[in-house]
Amino acid sequence: KDSKAADSEDVLKKKVPTEIQEVESWIQHRKDKAKNPGKVDELLFAASLKCPSECLSFFEESPTKHELCLLKCQKKILKQKSSLYK
């Protein structure tokens, strides 16, 4: 096994979960504050259809990075459509 790849995955496992938590809590906060939480769910569902293809390259690289990519993609979609549920 490539020890450098393993090392970088370890570094990611320390750094990325914090980022993942931040994005997850941002999404949850957005959902809690939304006047129409159903709309947020719809957007998240739409994101779940669109984001995997955007993040495919990360899947090979690292499952942790892939998860972060998916969450960031969802956040981006929610930000773009935030006017819908203000």
Q: Where in the chain are the domains?
A: 3-85
The answer, yes or no, to whether residue 85 has pLDDT greater than 60, is no
Helix runs in 34-83, H state only: 37-54, 56-61, 63-80
What band does 53 get if pLDDT is binned at 50, 70 and 90?
Answer: very high
Please tell me the predicted confidence (pLDDT) of residue 67. 94
The answer, yes or no, to whether residue 1 has pLDDT greater than 80, is no
Average pLDDT over residues 21-40: 92
* Three-state secondary structure call for residue 62: coil
Residue type, 48: S
The answer, yes or no, to whether residue 69 has pLDDT greater than 70, is yes
d(CA 3, CA 19): 24
